[in-house]
Amino acid sequence: MSDETSAGVHFPADDQGKRSTTTTTRGVLADSVRGVDPELAQRIDGAHDWRKDYVDHVHDVTAASAGSADRAARIATDGLASMRRRMVMVDDAGDEVPLEDAELTMPSGAAPFGTESVKGTAEPVTRLRVPVGGREIEGEELRGQLGAWVDAGIVEPSFAEAVADVIDHPEWLALPGHRALLIGAGAEMGPLETLLSWGADVLAIDLPRSRAWRYKKGLASRGAGTLTFPVDASGDSGADVIHQPGEVLEWVRRVGGEQPLAVGMHAYADSGVHVRVSAAVDLLMDALTDDDPQTALAWLATPTDAFVVPPAVVAESRRRWAARGLALKGVQGPLRALGRGQLFAPAYRGTRDGQPGIADVLVPQQGPNYAIAKRLQRWRGVAAEGSGQRVSFNVAPATWTRSVTKNPVLGAAYGGAHHFGVEVFAAETVRPLMAALLVRDLVRETPQREHPEELFSDAAAHGGLWRVGYEPRTALGVAAVAGLPGSLRRRVRG
């Protein structure tokens, strides 16, 4: 085998040995709707320019899911089943089998991981504190900030209510009754640092990169919780869930303990590797759920996706569109004409008053692999909650992270987003807010939803992208131009 096809989770090889991401991701998306909308599935199958066409198709799959609760559940189930049929597990000999037939077991001759732990030296933080504008706020001041974000359309009212629950119940912060398993533990948006500061017990899976692990161990030492992680025979910390899924599962089963696990998927990778890691973690989540049905599952949803949103969101967006001043309308009118309606288009076109809409915030520059990876995660969340499992899956706002700033188009668009009523958050603000939603999701009663897509609209912090008057993609180019000078300054400093 080549290094590229070393043992682990892969896209399938064709007759020439090529592992095409396009064939698989397009097929998975088509299969997800084949049972509820055969014509849409046929259109997806026939897509000629997948990197361009995927945006409309993902939107259309979301719209198909909006049709009914049964359709949403069927799409999630069929999409996951297609992924299991199409993606493969490659063994040490180079043989591959579909994931639906693969067993997560220790490879013959593989050495099991050892275990190390770092126990924090600080006192636990016992109140929810959030850095905003260079200072930490809590209590009534934090409630006031939540209210300001709601008034500005930056977060949904249910988000403010959820965070307020945690303000009222600081005893939730240390995850009583659960042990966290964070996959991709070093993710910039992940809850590792916050949970450790609150005194939580955390199992961590991340790639064996020594510098990154020194940083994580430092966080643990300065925190109040306990960080436990795998160590290989050579003493290197970390594990690769794509190439070592059986070894990772064996380690988690051995050290997981008696408390139910809360498994958080925060791993990110470029290109098709993101799909592979999402598929590998899905296998791991399945196995751990089979071991203990009380296992909880957690993800963060990107705001740059397509979502089913409530009628109130659609109505507010239309109010904002209608409330534009005459001067702004006078400037935008000719630009819309020159752009043949593709600039400053109103959001939720075609949605009837009083009906849910599709917030179309897909960003073509992120690519189809990213969109399908996130879709796999969303399908697992819908399927798991539908079976009665506890799920935390919250939309996080647009945030200044490394993956954003290294993309010049996204970085510039984020820099100009405030001109269109969108707030881009600092990562240090988002982390404790989203960790607060996680702990609240783990202790509250399981919600009864009318539609599975409410898993994502409930407690969403979209940064304003859902409630702006414009379809975000039609203002992206103008936002990028407006934000270009600041983006260039950030890249030079970086």
Dist. CA 199–CA 259, nearest whole Å: 16
Strand locations in 11-145, DSSP E?
A: 88-90, 96-98, 114-119, 130-132, 135-137
Mean pLDDT throughout 191-199? 98
Residue bearing the bigger pLDDT, 286 or 304: 286
- Tell me which H or E stretch contains 261: strand 261-265
How far from 266 is each of 182, 183, 186, 216, 278, CA to CA, in Å? 7, 6, 8, 15, 9
Question: In whole angstroms, what is the distance from residue 387 CA to residue 218 CA?
Answer: 39
Q: Are 384 and 77 in contact (CB under 8 A)?
A: no
Question: What mean pLDDT comes out for the span 14-31?
Answer: 94
Tell me which of 483 and 36 has the higher pLDDT: 36
Mean pLDDT of 173-187: 95
Residue 322 has a pLDDT of 85
| Pairwise CA distance, residues 321 & 316, whole Å | 9
pLDDT on residue 45: 97
Which has more pLDDT, 101 or 347? Answer: 101
Percent of the residues in the chain that have a pLDDT greater than 90, as a whole number: 74
Q: How confident is the model at residue 350 (pLDDT cuts 50, 70, 90)?
A: confident
pLDDT tops 90 at residue 42: yes
Q: Which of 40-54, 335-349, 399-413 has the highest mean pLDDT?
A: 40-54
Is the model's pLDDT at 191 over the cut of 50? yes
| Cα gap 86→295, rounded to integer Å | 26
Mean of the pLDDT values across residues 400-413?
A: 66
pLDDT of 489 higher than 50? no
- Which pLDDT band, with edges at 50, 70 and 90, does 486 fall under? very low
pLDDT, tens digit, 9 for 90 and up, residues 375-393? 999 999 999 999 999 999 9
Sheet containing 261-265: give its strands across. Answer: 114-119, 226-231, 201-205, 179-183, 261-265, 296-301, 391-395
Nearest to 270 by CA among 413, 408, 403: 403
Please check the confidence at residue 494 and state whether its pLDDT lies above 80: no
